[in-house]
Amino acid sequence: MSFAPRIDAALHAALRQGQAAPAPAKLAAALEHAVTPGGARIRPTILLSIAAACGDPSPRLADAAAVALELMHCASLVHDDLPCFDDADVRRGKPTVHRAYSEPIAVLTGDSLIMLAFETLARAAGEDPARAVALISVLAKRSGMPGGICAGQGWESEREVDLSAYHAAKTGALFMAATEMGAIAAGQDGPQWIELGARIGEAFQVADDLRDALYDEETLGKPVGQDDLHGRPNAVSELGVEGAIQRMRDILGGAIASIPKCPGEGMLAAMVTAQAEVLTPIKWRAAQRIAGE
């Protein structure tokens, strides 16, 4: 099932909020630039998959949760690309926000997307404010300090790094948010779903390491070799390419085993299995096919 049209419609509705009011034009354009055309939208897709697997009784709230999570992810990309972090020129095949606009506009774009994430959840509270509050709480916790993506970036300024806390916060946090928030939006218990998100996050980290090590900039749409450059830990330098791919598949097996009982359990297992294929770098999939012939 593709959730892409549903995610894009909800994202654009969120961006249009308050558009009648006078707004600084560059910042408004930069928000659009940062959010579209978008990458794989993997986090909101996972979130909506979980909500669907739990029956999706409140689609409006699930949409808001998916949008808020994607806005938060986009905000983190804009700030991570800044000159004082990765100093990236290219993101998703087009100039980064600070290159297309300016550094002040990029800082404000990230900040504004964060505000819009929370505003979107608050607006969707409707008849169930308690559920909206639970979603806001998870999103804030998984984005901030000490357990969120801000903390993840913060670890990169430390000489002594708690590697497990670093990975959980840097990549895992928004995947844990995706599974927790999908369940909460559907009226289910959030914590039961954390492990699935954590496992998917680990697999994604390994996949990202593979892409960083194997791809060229044109294919990836962003600079490569960033881990080596910034001295960040990488599964490929630790395990080799084959070892890293095996590791990723093992993790996804664990992810499937962790799926809580729910009506759409089988669908979710299929989704996770499909991720294993998607996450394996294309070049490597081709190489495996040739080797198997």
Residue 9 near its own copies by CB under 8 A: no
38, 39, 154, 253: residue in contact with its own copies (rule CB under 8 A): 154
Give residues 130-149 in contact with its own copies (rule: CB under 8 A). Answer: 130, 132-134, 136-137, 139-141, 143-148
Residue 108 near its own copies by CB under 8 A: yes
Residue with tokens 């390491």: 209
In the complex, minimum distance from the CB of residue 97 to its own copies, in angstroms, rounded to a whole number: 12
Most distant CA atoms of the chain, gap in Å: 62
- Outline where the chain has alpha helix (H): 4-15, 25-35, 42-53, 59-80, 97-100, 103-123, 129-143, 149-155, 163-167, 173-185, 194-214, 217-220, 226-230, 235-257, 265-279, 282-292
13, 90, 165, 256: residue in contact with its own copies (rule CB under 8 A): 165
| Closest listed residue to residue 240, CA positions, set 209, 219, 215, 202 | 209
Q: Which is nearer to its own copies, 176 or 210 (CB)?
A: 176
CB 136 within 8 Å of CB 117:
no
Cα separation, 130 vs 99, whole angstroms: 41
Residue 194 near its own copies by CB under 8 A: no
Residue with tokens 């960033």: 226
In the complex, minimum distance from the CB of residue 192 to its own copies, in angstroms, rounded to a whole number: 20
Cα separation, 219 vs 292, whole angstroms: 25
Give residues 205-224 in contact with its own copies (rule: CB under 8 A). Answer: none
Give residues 10-69 in contact with its own copies (rule: CB under 8 A). Answer: 18-19, 21-28, 31
In the complex, minimum distance from the CB of residue 190 to its own copies, in angstroms, rounded to a whole number: 13
Provide the binding-site residues for its own copies, judged by CB under 8 A: 18-19, 21-28, 31, 75, 79, 82, 84-85, 101-105, 107-108, 110-112, 114-116, 118-119, 121-123, 125, 129-130, 132-134, 136-137, 139-141, 143-148, 150-151, 153-158, 162, 165
